[in-house]
Structure 1
Amino acid sequence: MAKVVTFGEIMLRLAPEGYLRFVQADKFTAIYGGGEANVAVSLANFGVDAAFVTKVPDNPIGQAAINSLRRFGVCTKYIARGGERLGIYFCEKGASQRPSKVVYDRKYSAISQARKEDFNWDEIFAGAEWFHFTGITPALGDNVAEIALEACKAAKRLGLTVSCDLNFRKNLWTSEKAGQVMGGLMEYVDVCIANEEDAEKVFGIKAADTDIISGKLNHEGYKDVAKQLKERFNFSKVAITLRGSISASDNKWAAMLYDGNDFYFSREYLVHIVDRVGGGDSFGAGLIYGLLNNYSSKDALEFAVAASCLKHSIEGDVNLVTVSEVKALAAGDGSGRVQR
């Protein structure tokens, strides 16, 4: 019985070794990941019973994706099988002033061809307390958006807390379509998670006096963004990650949380990046963990940011850290000294 259920797409990630460019590579490392799958793995590593729901092809590649989740203790019981293929993305890691690049090959993926009858949400949510999805999932097609809406309705009817990371992807849909679809889903969301750009790209709500290219992030502007989001959609909490990009190798990393009464800002970390993919997902998982365990708003935020800070030091999509490691960093031990 899962306490947290996540729904989305898991993909095959193919990446050149180290910092090689695509045009240099003669081999690719294969791993699996995707927004909501990454959240489920993080939570499982924290000791939470987590289930991931998706659809994968009924072939060895689909099975390999399922196995990648099972090895971390994620429940895969409700994954549907069928469809043509597993989505793929190619990831080239950036360094210094050269940005990372992602190329998607996900058209006609199994989840994009899913049908409502593939998922029995009453059965999936039995005994669960939390449901999480991202804005990537409904962007995969009108049919997937309808499934996400059906899941949200069932979750609310059954008393689950619902969280959503807006996660706007311009190569999947336009801002206009995103605003229309996501606006309908937000009616069922309790906890909204966004980054510096999502609120603007999806709902046209922009932080004043902020320039993400230069790394200038205005706290007062993000307070206003969070307040507008809460007023428009009646969220119980709004979290916004704040990334100050110094280069592809070094970022400043922090976040804020608004609970309707107070605004909380985390401590800021200077992060030297090993792999930034999944950074937002690890934040979402950390926030869910903290709120599930009745942490205060401030403590839940600090746990989430510390968890995500650590993720930036780990190769691959998923965050392979323990609760004690996160708590140690959140408490101020960021020395990186050898532990013996």
Structure 2
Amino acid sequence: MSQAIVLKTEPYRWDCISLGEVMLRLDPGEGRIHTAREFRVWEGGGEYNVARGLRRCFGLRTAIVTALADNPVGRLVEDMMLQGGVDTSMVRWAPYDGVGRTVRNGLNFTERGFGVRAAAGCSDRGHTAISQTKSGDFDWEEIFGAQGARWFHTGGIYAALSETTPGAAAEAMDAARKHGTIVSFDLNYRDSLWKSIGGKAKAQEVNRELVRKVDVLFGNEEDFSAMLGISLKGVSEDFTELPVASYEQMLRDVMEAYPNLKLVATTLRTAPTATNNAWGAMAVYQNQVVHVPQRDIEILDRVGGGDSFASGLIYGMLKEKPVEWAVQCGVAHGALAMTTPGDTSMATLPEVERVMKGGSARIAR
């Protein structure tokens, strides 16, 4: 049986710190990227979205460790992060050369999809400031030792940015564990990132080592297969049906391969159309399986749903709620996050609790 999650009790500055890239998202709204004449902008990033959800929806103290090129685009991203309430005091500012030949800020063009047209993204993130970070760039002893945090979150997107970012992630994890901070990791496989630095073989080499330093692991069926080589059995290629027993076995296989893990969680999603999905989740904790069955939900913007699931589950664990409550909270928060545009959650805690209780969508006024 895996060990229980034990949280820090001594004084700490933050409830959660995230390490990862924060990009400027350009959203064509109801249109397409290749025909758009105007875009709305948001900030977003797999690891950052978790910290922001914990701050804005759940009211916890969070911070982001990242790097940005010091130019107006970087300052725009900073302004959005400040609006999100996430502590930006650990942002590393890289001098800008005026052109972007050596360092720049990442852009992420994302269209939402509708009906039979799937959501699509086009990233422009080469040579970003955060991709150039390496071991020694951040003072993790100061962060986790002198100041302190109860939870640290990072993931496979940050680890895939360059040859040096896995070392920085490992260094952060080691320092967090040394000081009693829970470490979570979202595998978040992105073929577009890994194919330039060695593909799935490199992804597995890197992530198998990182996951050995992790307490709480998030991922979907593709993530576990591509990043860890642990496959889901008994499903069709289009994932029209998700056999619960197969998902449970996959999570147990992950925990058996990595006995350091205390909790492993996956979302359950089928997508008949871009705007109508079935959404649920499953987790294994202390040999207990928690299954939140799929329910049909309507999607406005699916990007960030998994990150909001993670932040809801983390919130439940930080509040020392039963694991069933934490997983249900993650499912509800993820569902609400996908009803609004942008990567980040606009939900409130009362809304999450209402969805958890099966509340209707009757107007509140």
Q: Name the TM-score, length of structure 1 as normaliser.
A: 0.97
Aligned residue number for residue 82 of structure 1 = 94
The residue type paired with residue 181 of structure 1 is V
Alpha-carbon distance in structure 2 between the residues aligned to 1:175 and 1:220: 26
| Alignment partner, residue 139 of structure 1 | 160
Query: CA separation of 1:289/1:212 partners in 2, compared to 1, >3 Å: closer, same or farther?
Result: farther
Offset from partner CA, 1:213-239 (integer Å, 9 cap, x none)? 242111111111100110111210110
* Residue in 1 that maps onto 2:55: 44
Aligned partners of 1:262, 1:301: CA distance in 2, in Å?
12
Match of 1:35 in 2: 46
> RCO (CA 8 Å, sep 6+): is it higher in 1 or 2?
2
Q: Is the 8 A contact 1:12 1:89 kept in 2?
A: yes
Q: In the alignment, residue 222 of structure 2 is paired with which amino acid?
A: E
Residue 263, structure 1, aligned to residue 289, structure 2: yes
1:215–1:243: 8 Å Cα contact kept in structure 2? no
In structure 2, the residue matched to 1:22 is: 33
Q: CA deviation at 1:120?
A: 0.6
* Residues 89-143 of structure 1: CA deviation (Å, up to 9, x unaligned): 1112211111111111100011011233321112222221100011100100121
Give the Cα separation in 1 of the matches to 2:312 and 2:39. 30
Report the Cα offset of residue 155 of structure 1: 0.6
Describe the SS at the equivalent of 1:137. helix
Q: Which moved more, 1:295-304 or 1:118-127?
A: 118-127
Q: Distance in 2 between matches of 1:100 and 1:337?
A: 28
Matched-pair contact (CA < 8 Å) for 1:282–1:308: yes
**Could you say what the CA RMSD is over the residues aligned between the two structures, in angstroms?**
1.2
For 1:22, give the aligned amino acid: I
In the alignment, is the contact (CA less than 8 A) between 1:256 and 1:265 conserved in 2?
yes
Is the 1:271–1:312 Cα contact (8 Å) retained in structure 2? Answer: no
> SS of the residue aligned with 1:207?
coil
Instruction: Give the distance between the partners of 1:85 and 1:246, measured in 2 at CA.
Output: 38
Distance in 2 separating the partners of 1:134 and 1:223: 22
User: Match for residue 9 of structure 2?
Assistant: none
Query: What is the match of residue 77 of structure 2?
Result: 65
Percent identical pairs in the alignment equals 38
Match for 2:137 among 118, 126, 132? 118
Aligned to 1:128: 149
Distance verdict in 2 for CA 1:274–1:212, change over 3 Å: farther
Sort the Cα spacing of 1:165 and 1:67 in 2 relative to 1 into closer, same or farther, 3 A.
same
Aligned-pair distance for 1:324? Answer: 1.6
Tell me the residue number matched to 1:53.
Answer: 65
In 2 relative to 1, CA 245–58 (structure 1 residues): closer, same or farther, beyond 3 Å?
Answer: same
* Partners of 2:269 and 2:294 within 8 A in 1: no
The runs of at least 4 consecutive aligned structure 1 residues that moved more than 4 Å come to none
TM-score of the two chains, using structure 2 as the length reference: 0.90
The Cα of 1:22 is off from its aligned counterpart by 2.1
Q: Retained in 1: the 8 A contact 2:29–2:112?
A: no
Does the CA-based 8 Å contact 1:52-1:76 persist in structure 2?
A: yes
| Aligned residue among 124, 132, 144 for 1:105 | 124
